[in-house]
Structure 1
Amino acid sequence: MSSTAEMLTTHLNNAGVDTSLLAATIEALNDCASTCTTCADACLSEDSVADLRACIRSDQDCADICTATARVLARFTGDNAVVVKQQLTTCITACSSCAEECEAHADHHEHCRVCAEACRRCEKACAELLGALP
């Protein structure tokens, strides 16, 4: 059991959300955030950095949104269900957009392929959690 899952099981008020699904989503968010941050940095080291500006911006936006979403979910007590749903929706949009941008460069840049895959996993995890919320 991950530390995230273990911590969530100790929480007295989980608002009826499946703890393992919540933990998996938080972990996917944190993984996506770090992957996007690393992809942006890798893009900056490419010779064609000017061609990767949109990718870098998308990576940075996605990383920030994923980080914020993970933090909101980690303190989900049920009192902020509207905010949680909107944040998850925003994160799904950011992950989808970043994945599309990275997929456009994946044939030439391995880091973009890896990032696109992380974004798609995160997008899916957020959608699954959103669908499971009361």
Structure 2
Amino acid sequence: MSHEQYQSAIQSLHECMEACNHCYDACLKEEDVSMMAQCIRLDRECADICAYLEQSLVRGTPFAAELAQVCAKICEACGNECKKHDHDHCQKCAEACFKCADACKSIA
């Protein structure tokens, strides 16, 4: 498959990566950083897998389905953690994660 067929997913992956990177940075500035540790950890995992899958799809990876399955799982975990926190950046990140998880499931 060519990356044009994945254009919508690529956009979701990029938006999720940006949301996770923003959330990660904002969590580090919160008053109780230790309370945000799991959120920070999952933000990093999610941003990294989204960036990797985005690049892989653009270059036409033969492992799209397998990588998308893993990415969807990480996006859901990050979204579930972020939605526990009332911070605006966490809520926006959760939304981006769930949207991205759905996009990944459509590939997997």
Same fold (TM over 0.5): yes
Q: Which amino acid aligns with 1:92?
A: A
Tell me, yes or no, if the aligned pair for 2:65 and 2:107 is still in contact at 8 Å. no
Larger fraction in helix: 2
Alpha-carbon RMSD across the aligned residues, in angstroms, is: 1.5
Pairing 1:93-112 to 2, within 5 Å after superposition: 93-105=73-85, 108-112=86-90
1:42 to 19, 26, 33: 26
Report how far residue 128 of structure 1 moved: 1.5
* 2:42 aligned residue: 58
Query: Mind listing any 5+ residue stretches in structure 1 that lack a counterpart?
Result: 1-12
Greater RCO between the two (CA within 8 Å, min separation 6)?
2
Report how far residue 48 of structure 1 moved: 1.2
Q: Stretches of 4+ moved more than 3 A in 1? A: none
What is the count of residue pairs matched by the alignment?
108
* 2:93 aligned residue: 115
* 1:89 aligned residue: 69
Query: Mind listing any 5+ residue stretches in structure 2 that lack a counterpart?
Result: none
Identity across the alignment (%)? 37
Q: Which structure has the larger Rg?
A: 1
TM-score normalised by structure 1 residue count: 0.76
